[in-house]
Amino acid sequence: MSIFRWLVVSLGGVLLVSCAGSADRQEALAIADRYTRVEWMPEARHVRHGQDSAGIPVHTPDRSTPWPGDKRGWWRPGVPAKGMPYQWGGFDTPESFLQKLREGKKAGDIGDAAKRKLGDAGTSAESCGIDCSGFVSRCWKLPRPYSTRELPSICQPLKSWSHLKPGDILLNDRHVVLFAGWLSEGEIIAGYEAGPKPVWRVNSCGIPVEVLVKDGYAPWRYRHMGVL
């Protein structure tokens, strides 16, 4: 059962209510869940380990990743795949991702130290997928992707982790996780993220609060988010 469906069941089927003109909490989780369920057939033409035509380095998160021992590459040509792959700077919808695959674009692009150094200049127009902040931007139905550096400009910090509601985020200076609920109240969050763990794709996740705090995460809320 996905975290979204688990939340609906655990809340007794009660729907989340939105405020007029604001992001809808229920819809944010539904959008997130769709990204985990995108089904596609990888082909050899979707793989790249090297530079694109603009000279931007690209490493798709397939199982032929060039780093021995790194098991975060997860898809391989000819084997049905599920879930949208991570792409540095990516902002695709499930529909645009599938269309780009049909056009022969590369499936994802791993984020690494070289990408962080390049910033936006490291985004390849020849790849498709979504990154962590692009994913949250899509879930909030924002008109463009907001980077992890930009998200605080449209959010407000929460005074306590106990104030978190579905559709809020956990943010540090490198990554963002969409909060979906509590697996264990105050101890383990249920969430969604486009990121490196356990593999480079959009995943539902359960993460201990102590791990998030140790990694510098803090709770934030989109200023135009509806109430539960």
Residue with tokens 């809020």: 168
DSSP 23-55: B-HHHHHHHHHHHHT-EE---GGG--EEE-TTS
Is 7's pLDDT higher than 90?
no
CATH architecture of 3-10+18-30+148-222: Alpha-Beta Complex (3.90)
The token pair at 122 is 């490291």
* Predicted local distance difference test score (pLDDT) of residue 102: 98
* Predicted local distance difference test score (pLDDT) of residue 5: 44
* Predicted local distance difference test score (pLDDT) of residue 20: 32
* Predicted local distance difference test score (pLDDT) of residue 69: 80
* Predicted local distance difference test score (pLDDT) of residue 66: 83
For Cα atoms 183, 205, 210, give the angle at the middle one, nearest 5 degrees. Answer: 65
- How distant is the alpha carbon of residue 228 from its chain centre? 22
How does pLDDT run across 44-77, given as a tens digit for each residue? 999 999 999 999 999 999 999 888 788 899 999 9
Q: Which has the minimum average pLDDT: 64-78, 82-96, 191-205?
A: 64-78
Is 208's pLDDT higher than 70?
yes
Q: Give me the residue spans of the domains in the chain.
A: 3-10+18-30+148-222, 39-136
* Predicted local distance difference test score (pLDDT) of residue 21: 36
The SS3 call for residue 107 is strand
Mean pLDDT estimate for the chain: 90
* Predicted local distance difference test score (pLDDT) of residue 41: 98
pTM: 0.89
